A and B are shown apart, each in its own frame.
Chain A
């Protein structure tokens, strides 16, 4: 059974940094790209980043480009999202999802950016 478990969220002040993790199990993690997708409170879904299975390519939404970095450690079956220069508008639930039509999602981790 595919499982994706996010962690690392919390309450932070504007301008600070945070690093999210997503531990994968139930599939060959090193063979699949992975997404980060977020959802602001009471809002819809926003794709923010994609990393290829071998980290050879990384893509970002304009809203986070230059501030967020997606990475992975295939030896640990773990996906990361390093978030810098956080803004209030980054407040959201952050989900990791397995590449391939959004068939598998984690439970999400909440990030709140507020002074």
Chain B
């Protein structure tokens, strides 16, 4: 199975700061169609996960452009600019390139 390694496990941030979360995969996530199926999800407290970014860098509808995703092959980053209180929660990267689909262990973003 593809192992997804997220760092850091937690982040303390002040409102208005910018943060980055890293996600590294044990194999390249480029599929045979040339696309990279790496996604970012946010799980706010007591809620189900919500996808923010799909295929590395595409923002889901309604997601503010303070969020951005970059990366390729095995190395990916989620950046959040000007953090707001509603951004707090646990962020997961997920890959659906290889079977079975796998998730990172999560990065908890909390207020400093």
Contacts and interface: CB of A to CB of B under 8 A. Distances in A.
A54 interface: no
18 contacts: A35-B101, A44-B103, A44-B104, A44-B106, A45-B92, A45-B103, A46-B103, A47-B102, A50-B101, A59-B99, A61-B100, A101-B37, A101-B94, A101-B96, A102-B41, A102-B96, A103-B51, A103-B54
A55 B41 CA distance: 27
Nearest to A47: B101
Q: How large is the interface on B (under 10, 10 to 19, 20 to 34, 35 or more residues)?
A: 20 to 34
Contacts, number: 46
A47 B103 contact: yes
Interface in A8-59: 35, 44-47, 50, 59
Contacts of B92: 44-45
Interface of B: 37, 39, 41, 48-51, 54-55, 60, 92, 94, 96, 99-106
Contacts of B37: 101
B54 A101 contact: yes
From DSSP, what is the main secondary structure of chain B's interface residues? loop
Nearest to A96: B48
Interface residues of A, number: 16
B54 A59 contact: no
Given A44-B106, A95-B48, A59 B100 contact: yes
B38 to A, nearest CB: 9
Contact of A47 (B39, B50, B100): B100
B48 A105 contact: yes
A50 B39 CA distance: 18
Contacts of A106: 48
Interface string A80-115: 000000000000000100000111011110000000
